[in-house]
Amino acid sequence: MKVHSWFRKRGRRVLTTILLPMMLASCSGNTNSTGPAPPLPTGQPGALYLWKTTNAGCYVPDGTGSCPPSGTTYSVTALATQVVSSSSQYLYVGDSQGNVYAWTASSSAPSTVAPCSFGFSSGTFVNGLASYFSSSTYYVYAVDGSNLEVNSGSSSPCSSSSSYSTISSSLPTSTPTVGLAIANGFVFGVTSTGQYYSVAAGNTTSLTQTPTPLLNLPSTATIGGITADQNGIVFMTDYANSAIYAYYANSNGTLTRINGTFSGNVDVTNPRAITTVYAPNPTSSGCTTGACEFLYVTNYSYAVVQLVLSISGTAPNFSVGYTEFNAPYTSCEIIDPVAMTSFPNVVNPSISSNIPWVFIGQNGTETSSSCFGASNYGDSVTAYDLTGE
């Protein structure tokens, strides 16, 4: 889950929360503001909080450095997670120099890391990552400009015995891939202009769906990020039109647009990175009983907009509604975030909240101010848990 370097413009971070009306999707799938509403609350169940309030929130650096990073670390450009069991989870980190690393997630700062072998040229951005585990084999899919590759092995993620293969070397380069996501047994990639492609998870040789335009997408759309949930719903952000779209992942590796467009909320202005978590406990509005699905989206001001979803219907005819249940998350550790990921389902298998559930990649460094005990920070992954979960 990430966005392309076209959007990577360092700027002054805006740490002001914008308080806007709570929005809920209508039956048509569109959302529009109808008037003023009370300020959004804070501290609601499901809201993000920084997992580690030292070293500017650094959970892992890029590569094998230290927290906070120093030396030869690079901007984090892509992230992915992998769940093998309730006690075994991994975090994959891609950077602006074509490197990919596999970290073993843990309840303390992770120390076990392995470099993943790919054929990318040094100096190229890793534009997307996705992972899959089946029959004791670990698969890590990665894309740079025109190349989609997969690293696979059976002993551990990115072990010395693993190897990589090229699935495609002819992806669009003028409108590069902005991210990868896995849904219903397929890895999907999407470009900034809304072309998508797919490969069956576990396949190491060829695409299932070659690049083709997404249906029912505005001609002015500029896709910023992609994620997928446990229902097979693929969410995409539209940076140009300040919108979120929902698609269903079909069993043949294609995508079908479903009711579930979120727009008209100024908090969701120029959305980029996006990720989702299905968590065990309800929140204060939008999902007040049982487990809930939360959606987190970065916006133009480096804030994370926090939404809870209401999903009705049955596959493939789902409809999605959105409620902004908590004020956007803003904090000093967030630097031009172009990558975000999560464990999308922490209910089954159950993943302890001692391990963070949401991760944000920092695309740059900061040296002009102090942040949670560090005055030189960035180019790392910060980690978050959910309030009340």
pLDDT digits (tens, 9 = 90+) for 111-157: 888 999 999 998 899 999 999 999 999 999 999 989 999 999 998 99
Closest CA to 211 of 194, 223, 187, 186: 194
Q: Give the tens place of pLDDT for each residue, 303-317.
A: 999 999 999 999 999
pLDDT band at 261 (very low <50, low <70, confident <90, very high): very high
Distance between CA atoms of 318 and 262, rounded to whole angstroms? Answer: 15
pLDDT for the residue 284: 95
- pTM for the predicted model, two decimal places: 0.90
pLDDT for the residue 16: 37
φ/ψ (deg, to 5) at 138? -100, 125
Q: Give the tens place of pLDDT for each residue, 3-24.
A: 443 433 333 333 333 333 333 3
Look at residue 31 and tell me whether its pLDDT is greater than 60. no
pLDDT for the residue 71: 60
pLDDT band at 70 (very low <50, low <70, confident <90, very high): low
88-95 and 100-104 as β-strands: parallel, antiparallel, unpaired? antiparallel
| β-bridge mates for residue 261, sequence order | none
Q: Give the tens place of pLDDT for each residue, 322-350.
A: 999 999 999 999 999 989 999 999 999 99
Look at residue 194 and tell me whether its pLDDT is greater than 50. yes
pLDDT for the residue 388: 95
Look at residue 27 and tell me whether its pLDDT is greater than 50. no
What percent of the chain is modeled with pLDDT above 90? Answer: 77
Decide if 138 contacts 154 (C-beta within 8 A).
yes
pLDDT for the residue 35: 55
